[in-house]
Chain A
Amino acid sequence: MRAETLKGHLDGMLLAALEAGPRHGYAVMEALRAGSGGQFDLPTGTVYPALRRLERAGLIRGTWAEASGRRRRVYELTPAGRRALADERGSWRQFAAAVTALLEPAHHPAAP
């Protein structure tokens, strides 16, 4: 999938990747890759600036933590981040339902 197609939805997907619990940057990227069935091929290095932006916006919180012998920056959702994810999810469902209704072949005959 092209990076531009992805860009508008990256924030929501990053928030979703953190919904189940705190994760470090590389684990967020692995979750995106696994969750999309390998469809998302954006450079891993560009996920980190996006995480920093969400942190500055108060949607996630990042802290350095020591885990299995390596210091990692671990991110978790803030209450504002949970609300933003719920908003994102709601508007995506509306949008997807409308696009699906228009793009899928009609199962009923057109009105005369």
Chain B
Amino acid sequence: MTGGAGIEAYLCQIAAALPGPARNRDDIIAELRSGLLDAADAYCAGGYTPGEAAAAAVAEFGDPRQVAAAFRPEIAARQARRLALTLITTGPLIGLLWITAATASHVAIRDAPPWHWPGMPPAAPVAVPLFGAIFLTFVSAAAATVAATGPLARWLPSSYRTAPATAAIAGFAAAAADLAALILLASKLASAPASLAPVPVLAAAAASLTRITLARRAARHCMTARAALS
């Protein structure tokens, strides 16, 4: 066996044990490969044959399961952080789409509780407070995730299992907020469909449906990554 084949077989074992998106995994594997080749070069310089040098490099790097396990909390944290940041940046956009849809559909925004606004759908007295609670959950879970996975983490007492959980909560909360908005839309469709402005309403509904699908999937990935942490 030549040196390169031994190193590639070792990298395959690690890659197979790494969860998460392929782009992330490829970057990790590329870095390990360059490190293994550096190690093999050092053993070659010390008089080893290429085959022996590759075997020594692989032995020095350690059990592939142990190396993959050491990467897992890191991958889970990155996944959690990316989900939270994506939700935080896209959230206001979707909110703006719904506000546009509401104003274009003759909902008059006034200095009163939202469910008293003229033109509001009949489900508003339930959906609006529900939406408020979901929004608070989302903001605190997303903020906790970002704090626990970035520079602030040094001053926070948190385990590496926390961020994937709070990221999943933020993802499910975002999906729930979309569901609440869609319920409001459905009740308006049932009561006064003629007052709806079709284009902005369709745009907002499409954005929310997309986010429900993507946010739920990403949240489930975070839960899977968390479950894989020992």
Chain A residues with a Cβ under 8 A of chain B:
24-27, 29-30, 43-46, 48-50, 52-53, 56-59, 70-73, 80, 84
Expressed in whole angstroms, the Cα–Cα distance for A48 and B34 within the complex equals 12
Expressed in whole angstroms, the Cα–Cα distance for A84 and B70 within the complex equals 23
Give the interface SS of chain A, mostly helix, strand, loop or mixed.
helix
Min distance, Cβ A67 to any Cβ of chain B, angstroms: 10
Stretch at the interface among B92-100, B113-121, B123-131, B149-157: B149-157
Q: Is the CB of A45 within 8 A of B67?
A: yes
Q: Is the CB of A48 within 8 A of B38?
A: no
Expressed in whole angstroms, the Cα–Cα distance for A53 and B37 within the complex equals 23
User: Given contacts A56-B150, A57-B150, are A46 and B67 in contact (CB under 8 A)?
Assistant: yes
Chain B residues contacting A26 (CB-CB under 8 Å) are: 34-35, 38-39
Q: Is the CB of A45 within 8 A of B61?
A: yes
Q: What total count of A-B pairs have CB within 8 Å?
A: 81
User: Given contacts A25-B35, A44-B35, A73-B31, are A49 and B153 in contact (CB under 8 A)?
Assistant: no
Judge whether B71 is part of the interface by a CB distance below 8 angstroms. Answer: yes
Question: Which residues of chain B in 49-70 are interfacial with respect to chain A, using CB atoms and an 8 Å cutoff?
Answer: 60-64, 66-67, 70
Chain B residues contacting A29 (CB-CB under 8 Å) are: 35
User: Given contacts A43-B67, A52-B71, A57-B150, are A70 and B30 in contact (CB under 8 A)?
Assistant: no
